[in-house]
């Protein structure tokens, strides 16, 4: 039995950056299954093309446009192509992100810059371009995929933590500046999510204590996508400027004591 009615996004158009793989792909698919037409944008043409074909075989309507979120001219092309194909835009998901674990002094200058450019500037670039091209006049929803590091030191994640904390700040500023334009902006901070590149790279679940967090398991991509769907739906019509943790409670597990 589906959680949401299948027409919850009927007639809407959703653009998902990094929508060819991982969490972004699952969010795009979930939005499509609930009525949205899709644009996925990411760097690797062959990856987004393969995902587009997979979606089309599932009966979803999908455009795939190659794009490096760091390049404003490429970002603007994605908006132009989306509007040319679908004539509207309702939802932007800023999901594209880079990550590699490394101690702070071991990250090269360019490595740090690359992550900030992809995660923070990429989110700004797409938000601004979407606002200018459509959302500013018509309203809509923005969901930023961030990280749970804002209130903590994050060993081996200095670059990501700094960039994603900036994304959280952008989320709140967009909510305040663009709320009057009918745009709600929220963020999701995922914990450990199974079957993702992120988890593969870190190889741990939930926290670094060796146990699996209060729920005893990693989350699924579908569980992340469900929250994204809620946030862009009318059910969340008064939710704006929030960073929602979807982590099974790991973030509030202060003592991380072993449980019987």
Helices and strands (DSSP H and E) totals, the chain: 9, 7
CB 66 within 8 A of CB 52: no
- Between 97 and 188, CB nearer to ligand COA: 97
Residue 74 in the binding site for ligand COA (CB under 6 A): no
For residue 103, state whether it binds ligand COA (rule: CB under 6 A).
no
Asked if 110 interacts with ligand COA (CB under 6 A), we say yes
Q: Which residue reads 């949205």 in tokens?
A: 36
What is the smallest separation between the CB atom of 157 and ligand COA, expressed in angstroms?
Answer: 10
- Taking alpha carbons only, the member of 235, 236, 115 closest to residue 187 is 236
The phi, psi pair for 11, rounded to 5°, reads 85, -5
Tell me which of 50, 74, 77, 102 binds ligand COA, using CB under 6 A: 102
Q: Is 228 exposed, middle or buried (0-12, 13-18, 19+ CB in 10 A)?
A: buried
Query: Segment 177-216, which members bind ligand COA (CB under 6 A)?
Result: 197-198, 201
**Between 29 and 37, whose beta carbon lies closer to ligand COA?**
29
CA pseudo-torsion sign 14, 74, 112, 151: negative
- Span near ligand COA by CB under 6 A; candidates 27-35, 94-102, 132-140, 237-245: 94-102
Decide: 214 and 251 in contact? Cβ < 8 Å.
no
Name which of residues 111 to 170 contact ligand COA (CB under 6 A). Answer: 111, 114-115, 118
CB of 220 to ligand COA, least distance (A): 16
CA pair distance 8, 12, nearest whole angstrom? 9
Among 1, 57, 59, 108, binds ligand COA (CB under 6 A): 108
Number of C-beta neighbours around residue 234 at 10 A: 7
**Shortest approach of ligand COA to residue 204 CB, angstroms?**
13
Q: Which residues in this chain contact ligand COA in the complex, by CB under 6 A?
A: 97-100, 102, 108, 110-111, 114-115, 118, 197-198, 201
């Amino acid at each position: 039995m589906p959680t949401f009615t299948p027409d919850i996004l009927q007639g809407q158009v959703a653009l998902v950056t990094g929508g060819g793989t991982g969490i972004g792909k699952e969010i795009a698919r979930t939005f499509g299954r609930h009525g949205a037409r899709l644009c996925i944008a990411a760097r690797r043409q062959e990856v987004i093309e393969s995902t587009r074909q997979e979606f089309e075989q599932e009966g979803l309507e999908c455009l795939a446009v190659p794009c490096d979120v760091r390049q404003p001219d490429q970002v603007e092309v994605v908006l132009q192509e989306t509007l040319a194909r679908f004539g509207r835009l309702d939802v932007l998901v800023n999901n594209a992100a880079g990550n590699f674990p490394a101690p702070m002094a071991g990250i090269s200058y360019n490595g740090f810059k690359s992550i900030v450019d992809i995660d923070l500037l990429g989110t700004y670039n797409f938000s601004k371009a979407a606002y200018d091209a459509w959302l500013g006049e018509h309203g809509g929803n923005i969901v930023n995929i961030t990280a749970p590091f804002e209130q903590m030191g994050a060993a081996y994640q200095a670059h990501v933590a700094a960039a994603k904390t900036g994304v959280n700040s952008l989320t709140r500023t967009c909510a305040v500046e663009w709320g009057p334009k009918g745009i709600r902006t929220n963020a999701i901070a995922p914990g450990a999510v199974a079957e993702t590149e992120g988890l593969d790279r870190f190889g741990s679940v939930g926290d670094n204590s060796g146990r699996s967090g209060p729920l005893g398991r990693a989350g699924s991509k579908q569980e992340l996508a469900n929250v994204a769907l809620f946030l862009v739906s009318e059910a969340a019509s008064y939710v704006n400027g929030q960073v929602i943790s979807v982590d099974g409670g790991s973030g509030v597990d202060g003592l991380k004591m072993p449980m019987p």
